[in-house]
Structure 1
Amino acid sequence: MRTKAPHIQEWMGAHESLLVDRTVSAEFERYLESRPWNPSRLDWSLIEHVEFEMVEGWEADVVDFSNATPLGRHSHLMFMYSGSEPSLIARMGDGLRDVDLIYSASAGARYFCGVDMASGFPVPIFEDFAEFDGFSKVSFRM
C-alpha cells in the first residue's frame, strides 16, 4: 500500500492530511473510467482542459494556476493511488506543491480531485479532477 511508504507517512506527519477508505478511491476510479481513455491514460484530446508545465520554480505558481480551474474551487484534494487503496486527503496548497512527491512511488499518470469539507468530513467532487503525468505536467479538467 503506497500510503504506508515512509516518505508518505513522513509527509502526512508534517501536513494536515488524512486517509479515506478504498471504497471512495473505487468510486473515483469508476468515475474516471467513464471518461474517454487512451490505452494507459485519459484521452485529453476529448476533454476540455488546461496544462501546467512543471518548470523550475513551479511550486510557487501551481496554486494560482489551479485557481482558474474547477479544481481550484476546493479547499482540499484527494490523491488516488488506485481504486483498491486508500486515498490521501490534503489541503489544496500543500498537495499541489508536493504532487510530485506524493506520487513519486507511483509510476505513470495519476489522478486527483477536489474535496470540500462538510462538518469536518471530506466530500470528494470527482468531476473537478486533474492528472499528474508522473513527470512534469499537470492537466486540469475545465
Structure 2
Amino acid sequence: MYISDGHIQEWLSMGSAIEIPIKIGDRFGRFVEGLPWSANGNGLDWTRIDGLRKELPSSSGEFLCEWLSKTNICKDSHVVFWFSFGEPCIACETKFSISNVDQAFWKAPGRRYIFGLNIIGSEFFPEYSHFAEYDGANDLIFLDTNFKK
C-alpha cells in the first residue's frame, strides 16, 4: 500500500495530507479507464484528448501560483494523489500538492494521476474532470477544458 510509505505517513502525521476513502479513488479510476488509452497501455492517448502539457516548476511561491492558475485544478482546494484501484488516496492542499508531486509518487512506478477535490465541512466533493497525468519525471498533462492559453 503506497500510503504506508514513510514520506506519506509523515505528511499524514503532520496534517499536510488526509486519507481519502477508497471508493472516491476507485470512482476516479473508472473515470480514467473510460478515456482513450495509448496502444501500449502506458498512459492516456493524449493525441485523442485535448491536454495541456506543463513542466513542473522548480520554484514555488508567486511563480507556482501563476503556473497553476492556467489549469482547472486551481479551482479546487485540494489535489488527490491516486495510486491504484482498491487503495486509499491522499489529498493535500493544491499548492502543496503541485510542489510535491514527485515526492508523493516516489516508489510508485509508471504514469500516475492527480485530480481535484473540494472539502466542505467533513464532506468530499471530487472533481474527476480536473485531473492530470504525471509522467514520473517532470511533466504533468492536464485535461484541457477551460485553459487560459
TM-score (norm 2): 0.87
1:1-142 equivalences in 2 (<5 Å): 1-38=1-38, 39-54=41-56, 57-60=58-61, 61-142=63-144
Superposed structure 1 runs of 4+ greater than 4 Å apart = none
Question: Which stretch of the first structure deviates more once superposed, 62-71 or 129-138?
Answer: 62-71
Contact 1:36 1:42 in 2 (8 A): yes
Contact 1:51 1:138 in 2 (8 A): yes
Q: Which ranges in structure 1 are unaligned for 5 or more consecutive residues?
A: none
Change (3 A) 1:51 1:29: same
The whole-number CA distance in structure 1 between the counterparts of 2:136 and 2:64 is: 16
Which letter maps to 2:21? Answer: D
Change (3 A) 1:98 1:46: same
Contact 1:15 1:94 in 2 (8 A): no
Counting aligned pairs with the same residue, the percent is 26
The whole-number CA distance in structure 1 between the counterparts of 2:7 and 2:37 is: 31
Deviation readout 1:69-128 (Å, 9 max, x if unpaired): 211111101110001100101100111100000001101110010111122322111011
What root-mean-square deviation, in Å, do the aligned CA atoms of Structure 1 and Structure 2 show?
Answer: 1.5
Change (3 A) 1:63 1:82: farther
Question: Shift in Å at residue 141 of structure 1?
Answer: 0.9
The whole-number CA distance in structure 2 between the counterparts of 1:108 and 1:59 is: 25
TM-score (norm 1): 0.91
